[in-house]
């Protein structure tokens, strides 16, 4: 009879999963023993980094990623990264080893007490099988749950003595299962929405990350061009769903109630596609929308539809809806919006680089299909203004605002997209959350480029201190960190850039050497 161990690996194999992202502990060793030659193991040195790498891989590959963590301690370390994955709708199968079944009741060391509650509410499903024989079925369910719309993480706790037990003899039926979700569009409602957009006097489109995840970018371009409508990107966007040099592009919506209301004033119909309504951040009280403005959102997530504070909502497949709307709306007989003016170069002295200069140089030198990851949070607006992001999958950001995402996610994205250059732009404060991801990049020769914007401070917090009128706040400066030394210690080539030409040379060298490179750039702080 087949063991739980062999049955589970065969199940993963049949589902197209051949990579395990992990950091093992003793509870996980029985799962990893006799590791199959047709699988690969990607080791990271801390569990949040494991989840960050897997998150980037899942988003970029559009396939579920399999994670193996160490019991409660490893899961706890991973929770911050898991919050980003939950908000990104990333399909992650998170497994964790549990104490042997005979020892769970006495809560022996390394018992995951109340294992299923630990990762909630950041997973779609959390489970610990009632018996060893049930493990393959639970694993099959986890894979399909993670992959079904809306995609998202799931969690499975497995006692370590289960792996050598016999699997249910009926487990072979799991091998051939395929689960798909097909949301049939209501033709009447579809036509009503298309007609409303066609006949609106001044419609506006707000796009979110699920458009990029569904690769519906081109359909949204068609939709905007037929309607001659301006396009905003939803607040705090973790992906880029629309080309940033298109005439319709208007930029990134702010994350405040009054600010959004002001920018959308004058539009009689707001279509929100593939984004929550809205992901607010700073307290900015006001009307959600001005009187006379109707909002309709299309989301793949019923929870997003239910919690929206205004407007109508349609739960449907984002790709199918974007394609159907682009085909159904009438074409307006008017010009496209006037394109935003191109940002002008800034004056640069011989000192620390202004962030605008860094982004201008990246925009000039990076390949057309480059992928950018952003965790320089104080310069996010500048990044959206100055980078020409034109292809699907060109931009990733921490969806829940949890720092420590960009460095490991860059490793995962580069693994999934080996033919595109990945460039992660990371602040000096946030870089320290997951610095050990550099080791994984070095060990597996993953040629991502890490640009560290070193201004010696938590720039975003300094901005918030001004907004909140919080004076004399401690802990906002982070001086004295040598990122080149840290990178070299992990085995990553490191370059320091003190000016425009030095950065130009460093970028050219990094893009030519086909190995991971960290570039430390001395930059000015906020308002300088």
144 in catalytic set:
no
* Other Cβ atoms within 10 Å of 401 Cβ, number: 17
* Best CA proximity match to 440, nearest among 3, 19, 26, 94: 19
47 in catalytic set:
yes
Residue 348 to residues 290, 387, 422, 498, 499, Cα–Cα distance (Å) = 42, 19, 27, 12, 9
**Given 10, 22, 28, 459, the catalytic residue:** 28
70 in catalytic set:
yes
**Given 311, 401, 456, 491, the catalytic residue:** 401
10 in catalytic set:
no
Distance CA 231, CA 337 (A): 10
Q: Please, which residues have CB within 8 angstroms of residue 494's CB and are 6 or more apart in sequence? A: 483, 484, 485, 487, 488, 517, 518, 519, 520
459 in catalytic set:
no
Cis peptide before 446 (omega within 30 of 0): no
- What is the C-alpha radius of gyration for the chain, rounded to an integer number of angstroms? 24
Please list, residue by residue across 152-173, b when 16 or more beta carbons sit within 10 angstroms of its beta carbon and e when fewer do. bbbbbbbbbbbbebebbeebee
**Given 5, 10, 25, 520, the catalytic residue:** 25
Distance CA 318, CA 414 (A): 25
Distance CA 193, CA 207 (A): 16
Ramachandran category for residue 401: left, alpha or beta (phi over 0 → left; psi -120 to 50 → alpha): left
**Given 199, 281, 351, 466, the catalytic residue:** 281
Distance CA 15, CA 459 (A): 44
- Name the DSSP letter for residue 108: -
DSSP string spanning 228-252? T--EEEPTT-SB--S-TTSTTEEEE
Question: Which residues, in sequence order, are bridge partners of residue 93?
Answer: 66, 154
User: Which single residue is written with the structure tokens 């005979």?
Assistant: 102
**Given 5, 10, 47, 459, the catalytic residue:** 47
**Given 5, 22, 52, 70, the catalytic residue:** 70
Q: Please, which residues have CB within 8 angstroms of residue 474's CB and are 6 or more apart in sequence? A: none
Tokens of 484: 């080149």
- 407 contacts 50 by C-beta, under 8 angstroms: no
Backbone angles phi and psi of 128, in degrees to 5: -130, 115
Q: Please, which residues have CB within 8 angstroms of residue 396's CB and are 6 or more apart in sequence? A: 56, 59, 60, 238, 239, 371, 372, 373, 374, 405, 406, 409, 413
**To the nearest 10°, the Cα dihedral for 252, 254, 257, 260?**
-40
| Residues forming the active site | 25-26, 28, 47, 70, 281, 401
């Amino acid at each position: 009879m087949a063991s739980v161990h062999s049955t589970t690996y065969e199940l993963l194999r049949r589902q197209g999963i051949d990579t395990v992202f992990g950091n093992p502990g003793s509870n996980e060793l029985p799962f990893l023993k006799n590791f199959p030659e047709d699988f690969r193991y990607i080791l990271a040195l801390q569990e949040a980094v494991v989840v960050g790498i897997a998150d980037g891989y899942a988003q970029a590959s559009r396939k579920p990623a399999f994670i193996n963590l160490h019991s409660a301690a490893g899961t706890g370390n991973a929770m911050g990264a898991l919050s980003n994955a939950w908000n990104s709708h990333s399909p992650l199968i998170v497994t964790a080893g549990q104490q042997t079944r005979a020892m769970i009741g006495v809560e022996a060391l390394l018992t995951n007490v109340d294992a299923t509650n630990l990762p909630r509410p950041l997973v779609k499903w959390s489970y610990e099988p009632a018996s060893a024989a049930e493990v393959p079925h639970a694993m099959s369910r986890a894979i399909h749950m993670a992959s079904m719309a809306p995609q998202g993480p799931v969690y499975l706790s497995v006692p370590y003595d289960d792996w050598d037990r016999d699997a249910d003899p009926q487990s072979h039926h799991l091998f051939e299962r395929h689960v798909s979700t097909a949301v049939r569009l209501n033709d009447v409602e579809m036509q009503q929405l298309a007609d409303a957009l066609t006949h609106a006097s001044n419609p506006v489109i707000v796009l979110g990350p699920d458009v990029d995840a569904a690769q519906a970018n081109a359909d949204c371009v068609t939709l905007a061009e037929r309607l001659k409508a301006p396009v905003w990107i939803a607040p705090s966007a973790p992906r880029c769903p629309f080309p940033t040099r298109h005439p319709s592009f208007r930029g990134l919506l702010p994350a405040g109630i009054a600010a959004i209301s002001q920018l959308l004033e004058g539009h009689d119909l707001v279509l929100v596609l593939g984004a929550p309504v809205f992901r607010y951040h700073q307290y900015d009280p006001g009307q959600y929308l001005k009187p006379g403005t109707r909002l309709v959102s299309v989301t793949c997530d019923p929870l997003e539809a239910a919690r929206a504070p205004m407007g109508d909502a349609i739960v449907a497949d984002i790709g199918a809806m974007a394609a159907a709307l682009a085909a159904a709306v009438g074409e307006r007989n008017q010009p496209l919006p006037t394109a935003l003016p191109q940002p002008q170069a800034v004056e640069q002295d011989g000192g620390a680089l202004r962030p605008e200069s860094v982004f201008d140089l990246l925009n000039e030198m990076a390949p057309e299909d480059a992928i950018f990851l952003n965790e320089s949070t104080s310069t996010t607006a500048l990044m959206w203004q100055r980078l020409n992001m034109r292809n699907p999958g060109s931009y990733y950001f921490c969806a829940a605002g949890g720092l420590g995402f960009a460095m490991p996610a860059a490793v995962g994205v580069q693994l999934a997209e080996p033919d595109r250059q990945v460039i992660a732009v990371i602040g000096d404060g946030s870089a320290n959350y997951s610095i050990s991801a550099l080791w994984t990049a070095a060990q597996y020769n993953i040629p991502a480029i890490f640009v560290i914007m070193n201004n010696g401070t938590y720039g975003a917090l300094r901005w918030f201190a001004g907004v909140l009128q919080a004076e004399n706040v401690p802990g906002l400066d982070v001086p004295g960190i040598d990122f080149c030394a840290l990178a070299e210690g992990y085995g990553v080539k490191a370059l320091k850039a003190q000016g425009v030409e030095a950065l130009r040379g460093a970028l050219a060298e990094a893009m030519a050497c086909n190995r991971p490179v960290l570039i430390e750039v001395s930059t000015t702080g906020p308002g300088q």
